[in-house]
Amino acid sequence: MIGMLKSMATTMKHALDGEKFTVQYPEETPDVSPRFRGVHKFSQERCIWCRQCENVCPNDTIQIITDDQRNGEEYNLHIGQCIYCRLCEEVCPVDAILLTQNFEFTGDTKDDLAYNKEQLKNVPWFKDIDPLASREPDRGAWIGEGEGEVDYQ
């Protein structure tokens, strides 16, 4: 009997102390960490069309189309298919593609979520946080060069 009464006392304590763990979204937006991986933002000025992001993407979410002179024509990223692994941002040598903290995006159909470079450029920062500024101290951390010859692939 005592065990059951203890259980009941525990839940009643929670009821009476009135603390809430949940937040009332959307009035209160939660704070996300600076490293949070949200929607991508693409900067055409910085992109050098090296196609590293397209190569590294695990499920072929990025599609790049260039013409014969390797000028970039299209950069498509399907944010519904993306798994938000951040490998594209990691391999990009010029920080042209970044993952913002923005997780508030919607689309009516799945095809709406295939963003082209215009839409990727216009992705808003979440609460105006530019992730580069907050991730700056860590940016150089992942780079590893092979022993001996450097391996350009």
Question: Rule CB under 8 A: which residues touch another protein?
Answer: 1-4, 6-12, 14-15, 18-22, 24, 32-37, 56-58, 83-87, 90-91, 137-138, 141-142, 144-147, 151-153
37 versus 40: smaller Cβ distance to another protein: 37
Least distance to another protein from the beta carbon of 92, Å?
A: 13
90 versus 130: smaller Cβ distance to another protein: 90
Least distance to another protein from the beta carbon of 106, Å?
A: 20
Residue type, 75: Y
Least distance to another protein from the beta carbon of 63, Å?
A: 16
103 versus 112: smaller Cβ distance to another protein: 103
Tokens of 32: 């996300």
Least distance to another protein from the beta carbon of 4, Å?
A: 6
Supply φ then ψ for residue 115, to 5 degrees: -85, 135
Query: Which residues, other chains included, contact 104 with Cβ-Cβ below 8 Å and sequence gap of 6+?
Result: 126
3-state secondary structure of 119: helix
Q: Which is nearest to 105 in space by CA: 114, 96, 97?
A: 114
What are the beta bridge partners of residue 64? 75
3 versus 108: smaller Cβ distance to another protein: 3
Residue type, 78: H
Rounded CA gap, 121 and 47, in Å? Answer: 12
